[in-house]
Amino acid sequence: MTLMAIAAAVVVAGGAAYGVYRWRKRRGHGVATHVYFIVKGKRTDMETLKVGQLIRPALDVRDRFGNPAAVDGVPAWTPPTSPTHGILEVAADGMSAIFRARGTGQGSFTVTCDADLGEGVRSITGILSYTVLAAEATVINFNVGPAEEDPSA
């Protein structure tokens, strides 16, 4: 039995993942199973920033063993949970974006990739949560009600 036949037998008998992965791995193609975000050079799933700041999340797609893996087509990003939190600008290749914080709050955005490098589709999803805090104070305003009579005068 050739390597391909062994892999096919595992798929039929045991349900896909392990047999297909071993077959593809021996030919140098890992199957993507995880999407991570890289922000400021580190892997993350939660970011905190202030209004007026931005982050540049980039995708880091990995197989189940932690090796870099390819995806089919351009990843699809969803906009932030609330449009008042900020603006998400996605790169043409879908592998990175810029998130510009505009309003306080907590939320997230997601990216979905096709991990099946063939004609089929096997979606994997990454979620990046964020907290946008108020920017540093720069102005003091007074809230003053209408003038009143002073009873002690």
User: For position 30, what pLDDT does the model report?
Assistant: 58
Give the integer Cα–Cα distance in Å for 71 and 91.
16
* Higher-pLDDT residue of 33, 116: 116
Model confidence pLDDT, tens digit, residues 110-153:
999 998 888 888 899 999 999 999 998 899 999 999 999 999 98
In angstroms, the CA 141 to CA 77 distance is 39
Burial of 145 (0-12, 13-18, 19+ CB in 10 A): exposed
Query: pTM for the full model?
Result: 0.68
**Cα–Cα distance measured from residue 116 to residue 135, given in angstroms and rounded to the nearest whole number:** 43
Mean pLDDT value of segment 28-40: 64
Q: What does the DSSP 8-state code read for residue 78?
A: P
